[in-house]
Structure 1
């Protein structure tokens, strides 16, 4: 979904998702409802010892003013929560690429996720700690504000309560929420990181199912959306960590294969088809005067007619804008770049010349590591 740049703090771009811009008026409307104002006015009255004037809060356009200010304040609090994570990461020398505010809260995107349990622990708890501090500051302000500042008292009191609720909710062990990451960090103290991730992810999927059930029973679309997010993120990160674990210690040079199945760029597609049948392979490295220039697979010509196969050359079909890696690049980093760019293969440069690495090569390498263990390059 489209994102808009809001500001930059500590060199970290703060972005706002279109989903949040659409949701903010809805949230303001929900907060401004009579029932919400009555509930939170009662809570603020208990916190301050001063009875808030409900008639004043509900007069004219005041409910919309209260709802809008509270909604904006909430997402400002979420931004501070994510900055808390980012500050802790900076203390460990880790880079935060961006912070995105969206319909379900905020997401701090880190360049790398630390595998040291203590680092992940403190980065994860830094967000809820920040929310508690923001709630405490709002509560202190609540005690200092004059009793006749009804609207300001309500908004500040609402933010005090909501920040504490935000901190508590985020500490639920529903991976990849903060509590789930804390759980993984604690599990990783005495077991492999991949195993800790699998356990935390399974617990996260259980919470996702619970949120979905409650969302259906309470007719809450947000809880259903949260359930989908947790389920997708938990299973996705578990899979990513498993891949990284299988490729740990390997470079893309270890995975790449020699360019044995080659065909000249000037060859016709019909010649390519004949070679595929003869050599029993569906992928060829394309060369031009001995230099590797691309890759061609059976999918590249499957939709062509017989006349087109005879007229077109391999150069017309081959994939040429392939990523290039030095053979010393980590295998997992190369695989991530392939996935990000949507490429099926990449060229690998080294002292012995240019080779090709495909997704199938990564799959074969991971299967070998799974069978023989992660003792090192094979």
Structure 2
């Protein structure tokens, strides 16, 4: 879904996802209707020097003003929470690409997630600490608001409670929420980072199931959406960390096929099909005048009419817009770049010349070897 950049802090773009634009009026309506104002008025009155009368707060259009102010204040607080993460990351020399506010809260996209336990601990816990400090700041404002402005005072009192709840909720060990990252950091003190991630991810999926059950039993769609997000994010990050661990210490030279036999771009698809059957291979680099210009696969043949195989040239069905990745690139970074390309393939370049081809299958083989404890070394020359 589309994001809108609304400003920047410390050079970090602050973005609002379209899901939040749609959800904010709904949240304002939820806060301003029903019994929420009555309930929160009772809570705020326990610590506020000014006592708020629920009847005054729910008269006329006042609830909708409160709802709008509280909804905007909530997501402003979420933005400040994410800035807390960004500030802590900056202390360790880690940049933040952007902060995005969306339906389920906020996401600070760091340039990298540190593997050192103490760095991750402080970056993760900085968000909840910032939320508590934001709640304290809202309380100071509440003390300064005159009794003649009950709506303003109540909204800031509501934000005191909400920021404290935000801090507590984020500290639940539901990886990849803040508490889950704190848990991983603590586990990583005494075990490998990959093992700590797997354990934290199991906690995350457990909480996702719990949230889903509670959401279904209480007809709470937001809790169900949160459960789906946590489950998906925990599983994805766990797999990513596992892959990164298995590829640690390897470069693209160790993964890529540098000895693959090629096929001429002017060969017919029919001849290419015979070649695949003979060699029992389904992927070939394509060369033209001695230069590697693309890749052709069995899938490309399947998309070609069988009646045209004799007249169609390989160059007509090959993929030629592949990215070029330097041969000494970190294997994991190359894997990420490869995953982002629609074809799944990339040229391997050495000094500007194409010397090989790398595919998801190459990474799959290397990963299997590493799982089995087999050392992986460079392939032969192309």
Normalising by structure 1, what TM-score?
0.97
Q: How far has the Cα of 1:259 moved from its partner?
A: 4.0
Q: Give the Cα–Cα distance (whole angstroms) in 1 for the partners of residues 51 and 119 of structure 2.
A: 45
Contact 1:294–1:318, Cα closer than 8 Å, also in 2: yes
Contact 2:31–2:67, Cα closer than 8 Å, also in 1: yes
Q: How far has the Cα of 1:67 moved from its partner?
A: 0.3
Q: How far has the Cα of 1:54 moved from its partner?
A: 2.4
Partner of 2:43, secondary structure, is: helix
Contact 1:249–1:377, Cα closer than 8 Å, also in 2: no
Structure 2 partner of 1:111: 111
In angstroms, what is the RMSD of aligned CA positions? Answer: 1.3
Structure 1 partner of 2:362: 361
Higher alpha-carbon deviation: 345-354 or 328-337: 345-354
- Map of 1:214-229 to 2, 5 A cutoff? 214-229=214-229
Q: Give the Cα–Cα distance (whole angstroms) in 1 for the partners of residues 56 and 355 of structure 2.
A: 75
Contact 1:44–1:154, Cα closer than 8 Å, also in 2: yes
Structure 2 partner of 1:62: 62
Q: Give the Cα–Cα distance (whole angstroms) in 2 for the partners of residues 74 and 57 of structure 1.
A: 19
Q: How far has the Cα of 1:303 moved from its partner?
A: 2.9
Structure 2 partner of 1:328: 328
Q: How far has the Cα of 1:95 moved from its partner?
A: 1.3
Q: How far has the Cα of 1:371 moved from its partner?
A: 1.3
Structure 1 segments of 4+ aligned residues over 6 angstroms from their partners: none
- Unpaired runs of 5+ residues, structure 2, are none
- Map of 1:1-378 to 2, 5 A cutoff? 1-350=1-350, 354-372=355-373, 377=377
Contact 1:326–1:350, Cα closer than 8 Å, also in 2: yes
Count of aligned pairs between the two proteins: 377
CA deviation profile, 1:277-325 (whole Å, cap 9, x unmatched) = 1111111110011111111100011132222212211101111111111
Partner of 2:284, secondary structure, is: strand
Higher alpha-carbon deviation: 181-190 or 257-266: 257-266
Q: How far has the Cα of 1:65 moved from its partner?
A: 0.5
Q: Give the Cα–Cα distance (whole angstroms) in 2 for the partners of residues 216 and 258 of structure 1.
A: 53
Q: Give the Cα–Cα distance (whole angstroms) in 2 for the partners of residues 314 and 75 of structure 1.
A: 54
Q: Give the Cα–Cα distance (whole angstroms) in 1 for the partners of residues 26 and 270 of structure 2.
A: 60
Higher alpha-carbon deviation: 34-43 or 348-357: 348-357
- Unpaired runs of 5+ residues, structure 1, are none
Q: How far has the Cα of 1:51 moved from its partner?
A: 2.3
Q: How far has the Cα of 1:34 moved from its partner?
A: 4.0
Q: Give the Cα–Cα distance (whole angstroms) in 1 for the partners of residues 113 and 377 of structure 2.
A: 24
Contact 2:260–2:356, Cα closer than 8 Å, also in 1: no
Q: Give the Cα–Cα distance (whole angstroms) in 1 for the partners of residues 354 and 153 of structure 2.
A: 70
Higher alpha-carbon deviation: 46-55 or 215-224: 46-55
Q: How far has the Cα of 1:377 moved from its partner?
A: 4.4
Q: How far has the Cα of 1:142 moved from its partner?
A: 1.4
Contact 1:24–1:71, Cα closer than 8 Å, also in 2: yes
Q: Give the Cα–Cα distance (whole angstroms) in 1 for the partners of residues 112 and 251 of structure 2.
A: 18
Q: How far has the Cα of 1:110 moved from its partner?
A: 1.1
Question: 1:353–1:23: structure 2 CA closer, same or farther, 3 Å change rule?
Answer: closer
Contact 2:188–2:196, Cα closer than 8 Å, also in 1: yes
Q: How far has the Cα of 1:376 moved from its partner?
A: 6.9
Q: How far has the Cα of 1:88 moved from its partner?
A: 0.5
Q: Give the Cα–Cα distance (whole angstroms) in 2 for the partners of residues 41 and 77 of structure 1.
A: 20
Partner of 1:311, secondary structure, is: coil
Q: Give the Cα–Cα distance (whole angstroms) in 2 for the partners of residues 56 and 327 of structure 1.
A: 70
Partner of 2:320, secondary structure, is: coil
